[in-house]
Amino acid sequence: MNSSPISKSWWQDQSLLTNVVSALFVVAGYLSPMFGKELRAVGYFALSGAITNWLAIHMLFEKVPYLYGSGVILDRFEEFKAAIKKLVMEQFFAPGNVKRVIEEEEASFTDWLKPGKIIESVDYDRLFQRLVDAIMESSYGKMIAMVGGASALEKLREPFVRNIKTTLQELVESDSFKRTLASSVDAERIAVDLQKKIEAIVDDRLRKLTAPMVKTIVQDLIKDHLGWLVVWGGVFGGAIGLVVSLFE
């Protein structure tokens, strides 16, 4: 079995303790001069309850010859994988859920957007040069050529850059720009694309999941409760045995 020794010994130690205590009740019932019948009944019923629950736990994870239904996790691991995928995709990453999250984030979409960095990254010298080229190619080009040509426009570079930066800053900080930017996010399309990518990742991981791995996962999930199933089987079995002995 692939489970860790700690998880295995934890529930098996509880099972052993319960079985030993139940057996001691049986022995005490034969040795005690008083309440022998009651002690034996408690011991036998407790032992049967503990052993039955222990066998049920064992059959859950391991195949037992001639016992139909044993090793259910090994036999049904494909169904377990399908159930895991359904849980992940339908409960956590359904398109509606993803779309809702994206739409909730649209309101703060520009909070993480850094307008200052965008504005500073613009090549203003190139923009100015394009402006100069456009002017020189226009009908005003010959007139400007008479007073120094393109070099005469160089003194306009600094005010041009300053004014274009101010204009861009006002633009990206305006409410209309933020609304337009947020509305340009197609939440539904992004949600569908994201779900497809997540589903591909889940499928890839599940393909690598083997029957022993599924068994280990399930056993690790419920390892803290396995021993108590045996303990409570012994407790309730003993209680039933006591009640039965009192009415005999």
Q: What is the mean pLDDT of residues 115-142?
A: 78
Q: How confident is the model at residue 158 (pLDDT cuts 50, 70, 90)?
A: confident
Q: Which two tokens stand for residue 233?
A: 């089987």
Judge contact between 46 and 241, C-beta under 8 A.
yes
Q: Write down the pLDDT at residue 189.
A: 67
**DSSP 8-state class, residue 248:** -
- 241 has pLDDT over 80: yes
Ordered by start, the domain boundaries in the chain are 5-79+211-247, 86-203
Judge contact between 54 and 243, C-beta under 8 A.
no
CA angle, 174 then 119 then 165, to 5° = 75
- 121 vs 49 pLDDT, higher one: 49
Q: Which of 218, 186, 205 is nearest to 88 (CA)?
A: 205
Q: What is the mean pLDDT of residues 77-91?
A: 79
Q: Write down the pLDDT at residue 3.
A: 42
Written as one letter, the residue type at 11 is W
Helical H segments across 208-247, by residue range: 211-247
